[in-house]
Structures are given as structure tokens and as C-alpha cells.
Chain A
Amino acid sequence: MSIPTGSPLRRSAFVRYALPVVAVAAAALFTLALQSENTHVAGLPLLFCAAIYSAWFGGLGPGLLAALLSSGAIALNLVPPPSPGNSVMEELPRLVTFTIGVFFVSWIGGRQRQAEQLLELARDELEARVAERTAELSRANRELQSEIAERRSAELALQTMQLELAHVSRVTMMGELTASIAHEVNQPLGAIMNYANASRRLLASGTENVAKVDEALLRIAGDAKRASDVIARIRALSRKKPTEKARLTVKDLVDEVLAIARYEIQARGVTVRTDLAAGLPPLHVDRVQMQQVLLNLVINSMDAVEAQPAKDRVIEFSARACDSEDGPAVVMRVRDHGPGVDPAEADRLFEPFHSTKPQGLGMGLPISRSIVEAHGGRLNLVPCEGRGAAFEALLPAEERTAP
């Protein structure tokens, strides 16, 4: 890409060589026009100007052409010689000097032109490089943009994957609680059957029992509500849905988790002791995900104490408020009195697919930890006095509000 420098006319050879002819002719005509009987006008200065102009404009060739034309014009007496009366031979040294002068001016002009051209070239090159660099930068920018977009979509995909994984692990966990769930639904259903059968008996034996039948119907409604609550809870746990944080009290959370696992806890002859500090600040968490974390800890603890004698089949579930570096927080602790965690295993506990149980997937703890961390908290195995293992989940709490 060339940026035009100076007049484009200068580039054309025809113009460069036509100019000396025109200039010399013009100088000669002008000199002749001024010539009269009694005034002698020397043609040389104007011709000299024409030659220098030609040399400057067109370079060495046009300059010399102008000098030759001027010399010719003087020699042929078309233009009056500088000193009238001198012969051509006498004028020769003057014409030679004149030609050398023109040659010299042409040479300087040429050098200047060359310098100009170099400058132009350098400028062109600079501009080309600037353009190239700009193109490079915009390409880099485009690449960066696409990388950012890629990264963003990868992050989104990761989040989706984590949700999927959490869901799968939740469903797996619920598989372990099938007996518990069936029991929780069967209890109120059995009760409803009892009330219905009793009511039929009461009605069969006479209508004076209407008040009793009414009572039975009331209780049927209550038990139906209980059964549907259980199903709603289980459905919420098994559903796959995006994170949805809400304000929750620690007590509600713990009560729900223990309600879901209640039968399992009993069936395994485990005692759960809860110790929730008074006045705990509320949490801002996803209910289902947090239930998953706590259920997972409780199930792990149950597995840990299963082989213990009855007096050691104890799980302690406690919560206390604390101040973390990020503000108020709640620490929930699940501690068992099982064999404890082998120190060599402790580091690998939160690694995916690492399980100490024969049927374990090894996903429970890593997923629990990722859930807690996504809530801005921490989940760790913590040292505890005596036998057993203790896990603590620290979760940021909402500011304590005045009751």
C-alpha cells in the first residue's frame, strides 16, 4: 500500500522530460519578449532558472536536457548571448560552467529526492508495521474473547456437572434410606387403615358413635398430611434443581434430616444426641443440598458405629455459633464413637472415588465438601478426644436479627 507523497506528476517520465522543454521555451520566449533595440536582456539567468527548476523537478536527465536546450538556444542565437557580439566559441566556457552548475544542482536534487523517498519508504514501512501490529492485537483480542467465552461455558458446564453429580449421589444415598422412607410412609398409611376400619365397625354397631367416627376422620386427615409431607420431603430430595438459597434455622434443618433418617437410626440401634446451642443465627442455604450434606455425615457415622457394642452406637450432633474471618458463622458437628479414621486415610477422605466401605461410591464426602464450599463454608475432619471421628461443617450465617 503506497501513500502518495508530493505530486504524482513528478513520477511520470513524460512530464519530467516535457517540463525542461516547456520551461526552456518559456524562458527563451520571455527573454525575447523583453528584448528591444536599445535594451539588452541576457537570456542566461532565466534559462538557468529553467534548467535548475527542471533538475530539481525531474532529476539529472531533465536537468541536463534543459541545459542542452539552453546551450543550443544560445548557440543557435535564438536567445541573445550574455555578451552580444561574442562568437559561440567565445561563449563555450560560460555554457560549460552553466552545464556543470545544472549538473550539480541536479545531483543535490537527486540526493534530496532519494532522502525524501527513503523517508517515505520508512514511513510506509512504519505504517505497515503499525497496521500489522494492530491486526495482531485485534486477533489476540478476538482469541481472548473466545477463550473467555469458552471458559465461561466450561464453568457453566462444571456447575451443571456438579449439580448432576450431587443429584446422583443424593439419589444413591436415598437408596440407602429406602427402608426408612417406606417406613415413614407406611406408618401413617397403617394408621389411616386402622381409623377407617374402626369407623366401619363403629357405624355397623349403631349410629350413636358418630362423634367417634368424626374423631377418626379428623385423625385420618392428620395422618394423610403426615404421609404427604414425607413424600414431599423425599421428592424434594430426589429432584434435580438449580441451587436455591433460602433462610433456614439450624434446628429445622437438623430436625428434617433426623426425621428422614429416623427409622434407619432406630433399626441400627443407634442413639443420636443433639445439642444445638441456643440463639443460633439463621443460615442462608439451599435446603436440599444442606440436607444432603448432613444426611451424608449422619449415614457415615451410622456406618462407623454399626459394629460397635450398643453403648457405643452413639452419634453426637451439635451446632454452635462462631465468628469466622468472614463474619458470623455456624459450626455443625457430627461425631461418632466408632473406630475413628486411620491417620493414613485422613488425607484421602475427601478424594473422589475413595471409599472405606465395601459398597461405597466414594462420592459422599467430596460432594458434601463441594456443596459446603459453594456456600462459602468449609467441611473438615477434625480431631476429637477419645475414640471416634468428628466432622465439622462451618457455614456463614446471616447477621443476627433482633427477635
Chain B
Amino acid sequence: MSAGDSIVYVVDDDASSRQSLEFLIRASGYTVRAFPSSKAFLASPRPETPACLVLDVRMPGLTGLELQGELAKMGVRLPIIFITGHGDIPMSVQAMKAGAVEFLTKPFREDTMLRAITLAIDRDRVAHRDRLEMAELRRRHARLTPREREVMASVVTGLLNKQVAAELGASEKTIKAHRGKVMQKMEAASLADLVRMSEKLGADA
């Protein structure tokens, strides 16, 4: 199993169902963390690692679908595999539209479930890499002084140092020094690299 450091979260209010899922997924080599309610899941800290969520649709309190909405609102893009006691087509359509990986009806075949988990974890691994990169970019960007950020914003639009100097009302030499600092702090290998980074940051902001 190539589970690695990935985590499978299970949220199901039914103890039998929850414990058996936990047992099955753990037997397949994943780390499992199970919760009896949406609230308990939201209250627990989640380490930044590839993960997915196996979620019961019907639960007292916050239902599975409501938790999906809540996570989307919080900007948490955790792949979700829904499970439900009995197939409910409109509900599954809604869940899939909202980005669920899979919608399984109990009792499900275990290989279907495990395949869905593998797929979800793989999907999250890519996202996880992006998330890490974004976090790194943000960390670097946060180190820039306000002036350096202005210089970076102008430089990435393709302006020459002289034009930037004119725009910001500074000498060309000062701008050149700022630009060097920006390249260094952002750890950009080239102007093209810096432009790409800026785009990512911009898209996320």
C-alpha cells in the first residue's frame, strides 16, 4: 500500500458503521481518524497532509451535505466520498455537483470503497503539493517590504527598470536594488519564474 502519511477521515454517527469502516480502511494500510458527528470533525485539528473524507449523508445535527457546504465555505478542498443507507438520486446528484469523489450506497463492495479512497487520496496529493507550494510562495511574499511588493507588481507587468522608476518616483538605481532583493526573497530563478509566481499568488488572493 502506498498510503504513506495520508489520512482518511470517517464521519458517521452510527457506531457499528463507523467502527467497521475504520477497521476496514485501517486494514488497508491507511491512517484513519473517525468522528461521530460533523461538529466533532470540524472541532479537531487537521494536519496538512494528503487526506480524504468518508462522510455519512444523514446524520443528526450537521448532515453530510451540510458539512460539505461548510467545508467549501471555509476553503477546505478535501475530497469527499459519501456513503448513505439507501440510494437517494437527487441527493447524490447534489453531492457530486458539489465535488464529491464518489457516492456509495450501503452496503458497498469494499474494493469500490478502497478504490474511491485511493483515487481521492491521489487527487488530494496533487492538491496537497499545490497547497504546499502556495503556502511557500505566500511565506516568501510575506517577507517582502511594501516597497518591494510595489516594485514586484510593476516588474511582472513587463516594465523596464526605468519605467518602473518613473512610475514609482524613484531613481533607476534604487529600483534595480529593490528588484534584486525581490528576486532573492522570492527565490525566483528568472523574470519568467517571478511572473508565474505572481500569477499564482494573484489567482489565490
Interface residues of chain A, those whose CB is within 8 Å of chain B, are 179, 182-183, 186-195, 197-199, 201-202, 209, 212, 215-216, 219, 222-223, 226, 263, 266-267, 269, 271
Contacts and interface: CB of A to CB of B under 8 A. Distances in A.
Contact of B19 (A191, A197, A199, A269): A191
B75 to A, nearest CB: 25
Contacts of A263: 58, 85
Interface stretch (B23-31, B142-150, B176-184): B23-31
A193 B60 contact: no
Secondary structure class of chain A's binding surface, majority of residues: helix
A201 B27 contact: yes
B106 A190 contact: yes
Interface in B10-57: 13-14, 16-17, 19-21, 23-24, 27-28
B23 A223 contact: no
A245 B108 CA distance: 42
A175 B60 CA distance: 23
A187 B17 contact: yes
B16 A186 contact: no
Given A179-B86, A223-B16, A212 B27 contact: yes
Nearest to B26: A198
A55 B107 CA distance: 121
Nearest to A272: B60
Given A189-B107, A226-B16, 15 more contacts: A182-B86, A186-B86, A187-B16, A187-B85, A188-B16, A190-B107, A193-B107, A194-B23, A197-B110, A198-B24, A202-B27, A215-B23, A219-B19, A222-B16, A223-B20
B196 to A, nearest CB: 44
B59 interface: yes
A189 B107 CA distance: 7
A194 B17 CA distance: 9
A342 B60 CA distance: 31
Interface string B87-124: 00000000000000000001110100000000000000
Contacts of B85: 182-183, 186-187, 263
Nearest to B111: A197
Nearest to A182: B86
Nearest to B14: A187
Closest 10 CB pairs of A and B: A191-B20, A194-B20, A197-B110, A190-B107, A198-B27, A191-B16, A198-B24, A194-B24, A190-B106, A183-B85
B90 to A, nearest CB: 14
A239 B14 CA distance: 28
Contacts of B106: 186-187, 190
A197 B14 CA distance: 19
A216 B26 CA distance: 12
Contact of B107 (A186, A201, A215, A219): A186
Given A201-B27, A202-B27, A194 B59 contact: no
Residue picked from A190, A192, A201, most chain B C-beta under 10 Å = A190
A212 B28 CA distance: 12
Contacts of A183: 85-86
A194 B60 contact: no
Contacts of A212: 27
Contacts of A194: 20-21, 23-24, 110
Contacts of B13: 266
A96 B28 CA distance: 151
A182 B60 CA distance: 18
A267 B65 CA distance: 13
B200 to A, nearest CB: 40
A195 B24 contact: yes
Contacts of B20: 190-195, 198, 219, 223
